[in-house]
Amino acid sequence: MQVGCQIALSRKTRMMHNPQSPRSSHRVWAPAVALALSVLAGQALAVDANSLRTRALAATCAQCHGTEGAAVAGEAMVRLAGLPEDYILSQLMAFRNGQRQATIMHQITKGYSQEQLETLAKYFGSKK
Ligand code: HEC
């Protein structure tokens, strides 16, 4: 999958140019730069539900919910596209805290932070 490859590649690149490596001469600036980048990334995430980071996160759901949450007609998939963002988030939270019984989602949702679940709800909520 293309998204997966891009993530793998960027991970590799980061490993090769790890700014926190003891060999780096930019050791002093690395934390400041990392902080600035994470603030920027957070802002990008807040405004863009279709950023590469968001789509990569949502791709982890595609196996069972279809690409972009669009299940194929006749398949035993649970469709997410077309559901409202609020509903998706409420269900993800209910799975996570055990309010909604599930076969698999109670386990899956425990692997994501609150922010990631909100991002996922926004992403799938924007799909028709
Ligand atoms: C291994 C398969 C699998 C994966 C991966 C998966 N789901 Fe699910 N999902 C299910 C099943 C099965 C259900 C029905 C509830 C249950 O039994 O767990 C469901 C239900 C849901 C529902 C409720 C839908 C409704 O109509 O009420 C939401 C929302 C949801 N999943 C979101 C996600 C998100 C977001 C991800 C990715 C982080 C994800 N799922 C990953 C299998 C999966």
Q: Is 5 helix (H, G, I), strand (E, B) or coil?
A: helix
Ligand 1 contact, 80 CB (< 6 A):
yes
- Which tens digits make up the pLDDT trace of 37-74? 555 555 544 547 778 999 999 999 999 999 999 988 78
- Which tens digits make up the pLDDT trace of 17-47? 555 655 555 566 665 555 555 555 555 445 4
Ligand 1 contact, 1 CB (< 6 A):
no
Task: Using the predicted structure, report yes or no on whether residue 121 has a pLDDT greater than 50.
Answer: yes
User: Which atom of ligand 1 has the smallest separation from the CA of 104?
Assistant: 18
Nearest-CA residue for atom 39 of ligand 1:
61
Ligand 1 contact, 78 CB (< 6 A):
yes
CA distance to 21, 31, 101, per residue, from 119 (Å) = 31, 25, 23
Closest CA to 85 of 120, 34, 50: 120
Ligand 1 contact, 65 CB (< 6 A):
yes
